[in-house]
Amino acid sequence: MQISTVGVIGAGQMGSGIAHVFALAGFEVVLNDISDEALAEALARIERNMGRQQAKGQVAEADMRAALGRIRTASELSAMADCQLVIESATENEAVKRKIFEGVTPHLSADALLTSNTSSISITRLASATDRPEKFMGFHFMNPVPLMPLVELIRGIATDEDTFATLRDVVERLGKTSASAEDFPAFIVNRILLPMINEAIYTLYEGVGTVEAIDTAMRLGANHPMGPLQLADFIGLDTCLSVMHVLHDGLADTKYRPCPLLVKYVEAGWLGRKTQRGFYDYRGETPVPTR
């Protein structure tokens, strides 16, 4: 199947980024969210981010305007009827995702492909909530989507070869690189990355180093572009905790136990950049460590 029209469900940071790259690559995009406010914010974010690319000479102004014209928004799942590929990018909560799939499948054509941008949840289980498990895959973009070149492709137990081949082709058309992962908790990137972040939080919790010392050590000592606690704030501490729960529950190994300090921050509503406080306080001109 030649994909030309793509539906994106969820207009948050990830969903808007996915819509951004598809529109720039020439696809027609339907961006869905239950919140009209979220849709308006997403369009503004996409235009702002494309504007940065245009200012740097990465995108011609005419191409930017054409791409923005290829995005339409909708608050109803019925708007996905003409989409040949649908990408769910809602919150990292299995019950929410299953409800979305149950709601959207009646509106789709029989040959439409259905995917999830989940960073950790079982693709096989999510596929079982649909009428097309053979046409279902994990389609995991990295954040921020316009800048990160990788897409993880995750097959469920029922995913057929045509679905995999079609989505691998779509990744190439986006100018990105795919990595094929098996359907185990957190796949490849987060299976490795989140335990590292969790260990950095344990290092803080146990008083081995301060926020600033830990991030400086990993930036300069391991040549990481961003310290692990700074990165946790960027990802969202609620998302980090969700992935650690998936790893801990799915693999039953105590090495994946979420750090109690991570739990405490999430319970406090200190979720990182999106709430202005996490391991850093972002309410001033420059971020200040909170511990």
How does pLDDT run along the chain (291 residues), one tens digit per residue? 789 999 999 999 999 999 999 999 999 999 999 999 999 999 999 999 999 999 999 999 999 999 999 999 999 999 999 999 999 999 888 999 999 999 999 999 999 999 999 998 999 999 998 999 999 999 999 999 999 999 999 999 999 999 999 999 999 999 999 999 999 999 999 999 999 999 999 999 999 999 999 999 999 999 999 999 999 999 999 999 999 999 999 999 999 999 999 999 999 999 999 999 999 999 999 999 999
Q: 120, 190, 198, 242: which is the annotated catalytic residue?
A: 190
Q: 32, 88, 89, 140: which is the annotated catalytic residue?
A: 140
Report the distance separating Cα 2 and Cα 287, nearest Å. 46
Is position 161 annotated as part of the catalytic site?
no
Instruction: Give the fold, CATH level 3, of 190-289.
Output: N-(1-d-carboxylethyl)-l-norvaline Dehydrogenase; domain 2 (1.10.1040)
Backbone dihedral angles phi then psi of residue 135, each to the nearest 5 degrees: -110, 30
Is position 140 annotated as part of the catalytic site?
yes
Instruction: Give the fold, CATH level 3, of 5-181.
Output: Rossmann fold (3.40.50)
Q: 119, 120, 122, 198: which is the annotated catalytic residue?
A: 119
**How is the chain split into domains, by residue range?**
5-181, 190-289
pTM of the prediction? 0.90
Task: Classify the C-alpha dihedral 147-140-188-265 as positive or negative.
Answer: positive
Is position 32 annotated as part of the catalytic site?
no
Distances (CA, A) of 280 to 1, 176, 225, 283: 46, 32, 17, 9
